[in-house]
Amino acid sequence: MRTNLEQTLLSKICTADEAKTLVSSWKKQGKKVVFTNGVFDLLHIGHITYMAKAAGEGDKLIIGLNSDSSVKRIKGETRPVNDQSSRAAILAALFFVDAIVIFEDDTPLDIISNLLPDVLIKGADYAIENIVGGKEVIANGGQVKTITFVEGYSSTSIIEKIKNQHKAG
């Protein structure tokens, strides 16, 4: 039997169609919907800070999460370290995350085009004009914004640090 907490966490992980229904409902309630995406493999302070800032740009935050197959194509065969179900559950545990949608493609263009959030957020390492889905969001009256990363934090650097410590130890 699942606890209420488990049910709450699992209810945040939704299909693209379920997310579209949620977005429609939230917008009818006058809520400002924010979308960002990523791999979020080894969750660290950079991720938390980034997502918290994204959540602060609106009332509801949806995370587009790269599927395992998508991550392998983008990051290589040794990634992700954590599978998509684990990554989604960890994101669902964050109080400022309202929904997680796992996507199979290399980019979230289809999901963004389907959801049309009010605000699309990416890291400041992207030029706004190059952000996937940005044109679609702007054409629908939305905004595209960037957020500065916390320096020195990345899943890749954490993995390298672990590998180096293992070699040295």
Share of the chain above pLDDT 90, in %: 74
pLDDT the model gives residue 32:
98
How far apart are alpha carbons 88 and 156 in whole angstroms?
19
pLDDT the model gives residue 72:
96
| Torsion sign (Cα): 90, 47, 52, 125 | negative
Select from 144, 117, 147 the least CA-distant residue to 54.
147
| pLDDT at 23 > cutoff 90 | yes
Backbone φ and ψ of 156, nearest 5°: -60, -45
Backbone φ and ψ of 54, nearest 5°: -60, -45
Please, what's the b/e burial string for 29-60 (b: 16 or more CB within 10 A of its CB; e: otherwise)? eebebbbbbbbbbbbbebbeebbebbbebbeb
Which pTM does this prediction carry?
0.90
pLDDT the model gives residue 106:
95
pLDDT the model gives residue 58:
98
Q: What is the pLDDT of residues 96-133, one digit of tens each?
A: 999 999 999 999 999 999 999 999 999 888 888 999 99
pLDDT the model gives residue 73:
96
* Per-residue 3-state assignment (H helix, E strand, C coil) for the chain: CCCHHHHHHHHHEECHHHHHHHHHHHHHCCCCEEEEEECCCCCCHHHHHHHHHHHCCCCEEEEEEECHHHHHHHHCCCCCCCCHHHHHHHHHCCCCCCEEEEECCCCCHHHHHHHCCCEEEEECCCCHHHCCCHHHHHHCCCEEEEECCCCCCCHHHHHHHHHHHHHHC
Confidence of residue 10 (pLDDT cuts 50, 70, 90): confident
Q: What is the pLDDT of residues 51-65, one digit of tens each?
A: 999 999 999 999 999
| pLDDT at 158 > cutoff 80 | no
Q: Which residue has the higher pLDDT, 51 or 156?
A: 51
Complete domains list, the chain, with CATH: 4-168 (3.40.50.620)
